Structure 1
């Protein structure tokens, strides 16, 4: 069965197909990962770190080939694809650098005599279920901290990313990881459910849609497995004041157009105070419209195709429905195959579907507000709570508004500022848990208490 296929979204051409594993092969993969865990966890931390460091080096050595793979798989512009490979390498190297700190004992101050400490111990085999929009970055931020802790990884990638999935597994093998430490799984959703149920699997991490996250969380809960979820987002971009509106607009467009508009933590709702609104909309629409759309292998291309024809058709239906319900289409709105024009909507009200939907593509919705309180009300009036962006020249206002925004992350006067040391995650329907930063190493770990009584006199 060929559930895993490389279909170039620019042309619709099927370039490669990969067979789904048999049920017997899946069981063998779990067995191999479990056996590897028994040995991997006993390897000195410095040696586990060395494997990760070599994996980071291999990302960089194979940079061009790795980037070309994901341009073919999901239409990411080449420059963005190269940047993603670099980021995955940086994340992997970060956890190699932090390996000893992550695994260090934590002494506790106790009320009685004797001593106590927290020792971080791995849990065992973990399953990662990853999406198509960042084929390397998403995997790196899950796999790297857990491998350095001593866990082993089973990785189910998106069906449209089989080539990049295989490339990552090969990197870890070539980096010196033992067979079974990182295992690529070409499995169906039904087989993934069986993997979650297997008693040797101790936890599961999902990056994807609300529907996928909910289904996995329900299944993991039934089997008493730890779960981490990074789901959708409809991040606000709040503009309360600026000394350079052009620069603010550039930041807005850069954030919205990142990854062809298919980033869960991209700004999607632009909330602008009344005195800046008209100028912002005019400039924002003009810059959005000027973004070059075309062949993702062309280094000048800003906007490639969406990940699939189905994704583009879904976005087109959302935009058309928003306009039918009363929204104003300022620019864009047209689809050509899997390509979708940069689009700006205004006039969206809370009575429209678009008010609470996530537009997963190059569509920005701009809202006019009277003041700070109105901006916060709209920013928080969403089922999502992943990231947020705030532009203001008032440092006191920045601190005050950041405190009131219901999101896992707030970026003040900047976009595209993610970094390996910064934790990533959200609240509400955007998920649970954190990836990246040192917090990621606390998700799938046994924080074991060791209490020692004083020696008898």
Structure 2
């Protein structure tokens, strides 16, 4: 039997090791989930929502323990306090939304002698394959609405955040959910593929790499299991001539480097109108230079290590390739003493003189580097923003709401932001286009992904 191991990026030590579930344990978890869901679907919606809110309370009560634990697992500095601000917002929002989102749909054309409506039935068992970068937020986006909608949930968390799945299980148990309704599973990739390929679950939500998404699709082939996939990204920002310069700089620096750039919708490339370009770059570099790279358990650290040394190695290669092709690197890594070649500790970097022949502008970085290009107008910015195989979010920095909406209609992306970035609104669908994936979570549409329509056409009288 294989072991799943979490290696801390802080010092390379083994933080946690768990045996992968046996085939018998996995089969038992699926059977218990199926049995629990048959009863759960008949529990009144208000009671299901109340149970999920009890789970939320149980999770919030553990925050003081979870914050340093998370830093040890994936490197986010403790000074940022974990993920539970957004976590609580999302859970409470979907609980409030559920009565409306799950209400029967009645056709507007009344027909005497008939009762006609569409109800939303739960799918059954939902498998959530969660990532390490925002291990609580990304998982709860599906877990909370899935349970409220009447489904059972199996959670397979990333090895890098092995302890997060255990926290979910503990909070669910403390909330008093029925046995088997939620189960945290420690699985290998092969076991996960086998589970999906057997048609044992009724929906799979996966957040991760494009290659990971392709593996999920291959596993599900022929089973007709619906999938929700959030995969790679290369999210752009466009700073128009009428933007509030200081505001754009401050927010885009944070959008590029928060969580060491390991954000699904983090800013990875920036296009700036030529009239603001020089001042924007100067301000951006100056603010980025203030980051303090170091041990994430230190309250003074504002930039922690990346989750793994190999991820930092990819960024170093992208930077070297860009500089080799003529780009300018504005920050000296030596100014960040914790920066060490071959380790997850990587200094932030700002590149200019970049173009789309460089991988740093076209391939996902998922780390603390950003390239900035000068553009002459909206048309050029739009062409560059759309020159990507990905499409999760795009942000426009401008004083002109109409211009932002018009541009947004042409950008190939799942979410258009104006004067903000790197944020998920639970009232809107979280979705992507192109190789970023398919499906959606949160909002009313998220509930529709986790249920199936069932029509009733009843003749009476």
Interval of TM-score (by shorter of Structure 1 and Structure 2): over 0.9
In structure 2, the partner of 1:42 is 42
1:357-372 alignment to 2 at 5 Å?
357-372=363-378
Instruction: Tell me the C-alpha RMSD between the 2 structures.
Output: 1.7
Deviation at 1:434, TM superposition (A): 1.2
Task: After superposing the two structures, state which structure 1 stretch, 11-20 or 206-215, moved more.
Answer: 11-20
1:305-344 alignment to 2 at 5 Å?
305-332=305-332, 335-336=339-340, 337-344=343-350
Contact conserved, 1:55 with 1:89, CA < 8 A, in 2?
A: no
Contact conserved, 1:5 with 1:161, CA < 8 A, in 2?
A: no
In structure 2, the partner of 1:274 is 274
- In structure 2, how many angstroms separate the alpha carbons of the residues matched to 1:3 and 1:210? 25
In structure 2, the partner of 1:227 is 227
Task: After superposing the two structures, state which structure 1 stretch, 105-114 or 127-136, moved more.
Answer: 105-114
Contact conserved, 1:60 with 1:86, CA < 8 A, in 2?
A: no
- Whether 2:16 is the aligned partner of 1:16: answer yes
In structure 1, which of residues 436, 440, 448 is the aligned counterpart of residue 446 of structure 2?
A: 440
In structure 2, the partner of 1:185 is 185
Deviation at 1:332, TM superposition (A): 4.6
In structure 1, the partner of 2:83 is 84
The list of structure 1 runs, each at least 4 consecutive aligned residues, that deviate by more than 3 angstroms after superposition, is 110-113, 332-335
In structure 2, the partner of 1:98 is 97
Relative distance call for 1:431 and 1:211 in structure 2 (3 A) is same
Deviation at 1:182, TM superposition (A): 1.1
In structure 2, the partner of 1:383 is 389
Is the partner of 1:331 in helix, strand or coil? coil
In structure 1, the partner of 2:54 is 54
Task: After superposing the two structures, state which structure 1 stretch, 57-66 or 380-389, moved more.
Answer: 57-66
Contact conserved, 1:4 with 1:19, CA < 8 A, in 2?
A: yes
Deviation at 1:64, TM superposition (A): 1.0
Residues 417-442 of structure 1 show CA distances to partners (whole Å, capped at 9, x for unaligned) of 42322321111111111112222111
- Whether 2:167 is the aligned partner of 1:161: answer no
Contact conserved, 2:293 with 2:304, CA < 8 A, in 1?
A: yes
- Whether 2:421 is the aligned partner of 1:420: answer no
Deviation at 1:45, TM superposition (A): 1.0
Relative distance call for 1:263 and 1:243 in structure 2 (3 A) is closer
- In structure 2, how many angstroms separate the alpha carbons of the residues matched to 1:83 and 1:67? 5
- In structure 2, how many angstroms separate the alpha carbons of the residues matched to 1:352 and 1:6? 33
Contact conserved, 1:234 with 1:267, CA < 8 A, in 2?
A: yes
Is the partner of 2:440 in helix, strand or coil? coil
- In structure 1, how many angstroms separate the alpha carbons of the residues matched to 2:437 and 2:291? 32
Is the partner of 1:38 in helix, strand or coil? helix
- What TM-score, normalized by structure 1, do the two folds share? 0.95
Residues 271-329 of structure 1 show CA distances to partners (whole Å, capped at 9, x for unaligned) of 00111111111111111121111121223322100001121122212221222233222
**Across the two proteins, how many residue pairs are aligned to each other?**
454
Relative distance call for 1:110 and 1:197 in structure 2 (3 A) is farther
- In structure 1, how many angstroms separate the alpha carbons of the residues matched to 2:434 and 2:456? 35
Is the partner of 2:221 in helix, strand or coil? helix
Deviation at 1:67, TM superposition (A): 1.7
Residues 242-296 of structure 1 show CA distances to partners (whole Å, capped at 9, x for unaligned) of 4531221001101111211101111111000111111111111111121111121
Is the partner of 1:385 in helix, strand or coil? coil
Relative distance call for 1:392 and 1:243 in structure 2 (3 A) is closer
Relative distance call for 1:362 and 1:95 in structure 2 (3 A) is same
Is the partner of 1:36 in helix, strand or coil? helix
Relative distance call for 1:369 and 1:295 in structure 2 (3 A) is same
- What TM-score, normalized by structure 2, do the two folds share? 0.95
- In structure 1, how many angstroms separate the alpha carbons of the residues matched to 2:227 and 2:256? 29
Residues 73-109 of structure 1 show CA distances to partners (whole Å, capped at 9, x for unaligned) of 10011133x3412322222222222332232111112
Is the partner of 1:258 in helix, strand or coil? helix
Deviation at 1:57, TM superposition (A): 1.0
- Whether 2:410 is the aligned partner of 1:404: answer yes
Is the partner of 2:224 in helix, strand or coil? coil
In structure 2, the partner of 1:288 is 288
Contact conserved, 2:29 with 2:180, CA < 8 A, in 1?
A: yes
- In structure 2, how many angstroms separate the alpha carbons of the residues matched to 1:69 and 1:164? 9
Is the partner of 1:345 in helix, strand or coil? strand
Is the partner of 1:393 in helix, strand or coil? coil
Deviation at 1:333, TM superposition (A): 5.7
- In structure 2, how many angstroms separate the alpha carbons of the residues matched to 1:446 and 1:394? 40
- In structure 2, how many angstroms separate the alpha carbons of the residues matched to 1:170 and 1:421? 28
- Whether 2:352 is the aligned partner of 1:346: answer yes
- List runs of 5+ in structure 1 lacking aligned partners: none
In structure 2, the partner of 1:209 is 209
